């Protein structure tokens, strides 16, 4: 919330704005400052907290566990942070130059491969490195693009992202995975800090830098926690990420199917997203967004129960 006015001024000065046009309801240029503010709101507190804990400045009961997690996952955390910066830069390039689909997709793949190589990977109980790499990369690409597609109404992408981050953090906290929980709560807080600038009336947008960042971070948040352990053998718990991210994933699936059936490239935008369909049945944009938030929260609560 504090960083956004600074980024907003920078965007206005560099003309990084979303101009009015086709399928857009705003009548004046809106700065694409949200992604940079959210990135600042996550990385700065994470870095500051890690330093303060490492040198014993912060005295909290779980400090030792978190420091142990930082030490054990130092390379992982560095790759994840660099990946967050890289995906935001990719989105910024798209905001600035309107990249074609192929180079943008190649950039997403490279970042997803780097994360899959350095961090935990999805296994789905199948012991195959090739399968694990492929599924992890596919998952990261899917979630990134689901949130990129979902950024079509004020507050929708940021609100869904905040809810998902909150529930991923709760799931991790309940299992004593403090470092994952801290990261999730930081992400939730960063997006909540951005929301007053974006909902219900927008003075700033996430832009592709922001929507890519939100999708990337949530894809990673879904990979890091242990949903299934031998101590707590609950096979259905692996479905939790699908439930937490049910609304954006459903939106991606239905809009891609609709475009494919109509012989249109699935990456070309239209007004057939869930939010647009709700407005066509009589809801105004604000109520449509609130309803999707509510549905996402209810389904994510079910995931927490798993």
Task: Return the SS3 of 159.
Answer: helix
Examine residue 104 and state whether it is found in any structural domain, yes or no.
yes
Q: Are 297 and 243 contacting, i.e. CB atoms less than 8 angstroms apart? A: no
How many domains, in total, are found in the chain?
1
DSSP string, 33-68: -HHHHHHHHHHHHHHHHHHHHHTT-S--TTHHHHHH
127-142 per-position pLDDT tens digit:
888 999 999 999 999 9
| Distance, C-alpha 285 to centroid of its chain | 21
Examine residue 2 and state whether it is found in any structural domain, yes or no.
no
Q: Are 150 and 211 contacting, i.e. CB atoms less than 8 angstroms apart? A: yes
141 vs 36, 107, 297, CA distance in Å? 21, 10, 23
Q: Residue 62's pLDDT band (boundaries 50, 70, 90)?
A: low
Note the pLDDT of residue 234: 64
Q: What is the mean pLDDT of residues 111-130?
A: 85
Q: Are 266 and 273 contacting, i.e. CB atoms less than 8 angstroms apart? A: no
DSSP string, 227-270: ---SSS--GGGGGHHHHHTHHHHHHHHHHHHHHHHTT--TTS--
Examine residue 95 and state whether it is found in any structural domain, yes or no.
yes
d(CA 40, CA 191): 11
d(CA 234, CA 80): 28
Of residues 205, 241, 169, the one with CA closest to residue 95: 205
Segments forming the whole domain that contains residue 193: 31-227
Examine residue 246 and state whether it is found in any structural domain, yes or no.
no
Examine residue 262 and state whether it is found in any structural domain, yes or no.
no
Examine residue 285 and state whether it is found in any structural domain, yes or no.
no
- Which of 43-52, 59-68, 98-107, 218-227 comes out lowest in average pLDDT? 59-68
Radius of gyration, alpha carbons of the chain:
19
d(CA 304, CA 225): 13
19-57 per-position pLDDT tens digit:
876 656 666 899 999 999 999 999 999 888 888 887 877
Average pLDDT, rounded, for the chain: 89
Examine residue 209 and state whether it is found in any structural domain, yes or no.
yes
CB atoms within 10 A of CB 155: 25
78-107 per-position pLDDT tens digit:
888 999 999 999 999 999 999 999 999 999
Burial class (CB in 10 A: 0-12, 13-18, 19+), 206: buried
Examine residue 257 and state whether it is found in any structural domain, yes or no.
no
């Amino acid at each position: 919330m504090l960083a956004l006015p600074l980024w907003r001024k920078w965007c206005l000065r560099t003309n990084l704005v979303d101009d009015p046009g086709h399928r857009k309801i705003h009548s004046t240029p809106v700065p694409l400052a949200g992604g940079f503010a959210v990135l600042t709101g996550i990385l700065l507190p994470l870095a500051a907290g890690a330093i303060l804990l490492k040198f014993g400045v912060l005295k909290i009961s779980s400090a030792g566990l978190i420091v142990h997690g930082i030490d054990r996952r130092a390379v992982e955390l560095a790759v994840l942070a660099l990946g967050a910066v890289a995906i935001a830069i990719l989105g910024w390039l798209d905001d600035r130059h309107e990249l074609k689909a192929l180079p943008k997709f190649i950039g997403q793949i490279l970042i997803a491969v780097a994360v899959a190589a350095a961090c935990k990977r999805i296994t789905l109980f199948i012991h195959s490195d090739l399968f694990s790499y492929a599924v992890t990369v596919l998952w990261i690409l899917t979630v990134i693009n689901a949130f990129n597609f979902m950024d079509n109404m004020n507050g929708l992408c940021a609100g869904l992202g905040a809810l998902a981050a909150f529930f991923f953090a709760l799931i991790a906290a309940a299992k004593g995975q403090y470092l994952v929980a801290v990261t999730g709560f930081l992400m939730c807080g960063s997006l909540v800090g951005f929301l007053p600038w974006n909902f219900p009336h927008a003075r700033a947008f996430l832009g592709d830098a922001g929507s890519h960042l939100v999708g990337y971070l949530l894809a990673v948040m879904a990979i890091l926690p242990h949903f299934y352990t031998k101590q707590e053998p609950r096979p259905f718990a692996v479905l939790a990420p699908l439930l937490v991210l049910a609304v954006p994933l459903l939106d991606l699936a239905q809009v891609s199917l609709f475009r494919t059936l109509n012989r249109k490239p699935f990456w070309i935008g239209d007004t057939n997203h869930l939010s647009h369909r709700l407005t066509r049945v009589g809801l105004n944009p604000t109520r449509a967004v609130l309803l999707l938030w509510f549905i996402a929260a209810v389904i994510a609560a079910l995931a927490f129960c798993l």
